[in-house]
Amino acid sequence: MSSPTNRRVCIVGAGAIGCTLAARLGAGGQPVSMLARGQTLAALRANGVRLSDLDGSHHSPVNASDSCAELGEQDLIFICTKAPALADLLPTLGPLIGPQTVMVPVVNGVPWWYFHGLPGRFAERQVRAVDPDGALSAALDLQRILGCVVFITAETEAPGAARSDNPHLMILGEPDGQLSERLHWVRALVEQAGIEARASEHIRDPLWTKIIANLSSNPLSVVTGATLEQLYGRADLRGVTAKIIQETLLIAAAYGARITFDPETFMRLGADMGAVRTSMLQDYGHGRPLELAAIGDAVVELAGYQGLSMPVTQDILTLARFRGEQPTTH
């Protein structure tokens, strides 16, 4: 393994979150490789990665390629792609992976590793909404995975360039709850990049907080076209988001998650985020696949395992799915 000051770090996926992470790591002195393609790859090679956030403007050169073999073995890989891309992506990452490589999936919704490391009746169960045939679990040794919950709002301004107008927070944790050596060095590396980084013995607790944030905003934003300020601030939309939050809180509680926020405070903080478009609304606007399976269907699946239902949430998911299947007009 490389020394703490000489880690080989690769970011797979150069969207808004991937570029934010790459730019912050680069600004903190950490060399970064990026796996990208098309216009984004060309932009990264020509201009490096660029970010505008609350700390100013950041620009960093990166080693960008569309070839895992060219990038070579890494110590740490952040997987920053959308959930629908994982099935095709994960089996191709072999050349990046060495004996000690740590994989950090930075994905929305319920991750395919959710039941990994859990004791009891759900031990090693698959989340079929996101990994229906077990391909993700088969493609990547689950022992390599370090859980991650990212609270970063960012938008792509141009290929290889992102903008973020809110503070950055990453929470990291082992799926089995151990405070491992790798958890500590990954947390320190992220913190060195100027991102608030926390290590958690209960990574599914903040994961459920993020699931609630995503599920109460993303699908409804596609149906309505509303920003976070509107979804959580307008009286008519607040009523719908509140019902989704309550339904999801029941599921989180059924799985033993300790959620520390008050729903009213949560919605006020959401409204205070301003005129931010959700990642799903951005995807819809660009005609990209929507992450409804990971953000919504998987939660409904987990509800079913506990004998619970989510009627309002399911209705909004149905509407969002219909909307996503219609051609967008620009």
Please name each of the domains of the chain with its CATH number: 9-201 (3.40.50.720), 205-324 (1.10.1040.10)
What was the pLDDT predicted at 13?
95
State yes or no: is 243 an active-site residue: no
For residues 43 and 49, what is the distance between their CA atoms, to the nearest angstrom? Answer: 8
What was the pLDDT predicted at 5?
56
Query: Two tokens at 285?
Result: 């606007």
Alpha-carbon torsion, ordered 198, 292, 232, 172, to 10 deg: 0
For residues 277 and 223, what is the distance between their CA atoms, to the nearest angstrom? Answer: 13
For residues 214 and 206, what is the distance between their CA atoms, to the nearest angstrom? Answer: 12
Residue 127 to residues 73, 264, 305: CA-CA distances in angstroms? 29, 30, 11
Q: Are 150 and 17 in contact (CB under 8 A)?
A: yes
Element (H, E) at 96: none
- For helices 311-325 and 204-224, the axis angle rounded to 10 degrees is 50
Q: Which of 144, 202, 210, 321 is catalytic?
A: 210
Task: Please spell the DSSP secondary structure of 136-169, one letter per residue.
Answer: HHHHS-GGGB-EEEEE---EEEETTEEE--S--E
Query: Two tokens at 183?
Result: 């958890």
Find tokens 């999801």 and name the residue.
248
**Global pTM?**
0.91
What was the pLDDT predicted at 329?
63
The residues, any chain, with a CB within 8 Å of residue 260's CB and separated by 6 or more, are 205, 209
- Which runs of E-coded beta strand occur in 153-232? 155-158, 161-163, 169-173, 196-199
What was the pLDDT predicted at 2?
46
What was the pLDDT predicted at 1?
46
What was the pLDDT predicted at 82?
87
pLDDT along the chain (330 residues), means of 10: 71 95 95 96 96 93 97 98 90 96 95 92 91 92 95 90 92 96 97 96 96 96 96 96 97 94 90 90 92 97 97 98 82
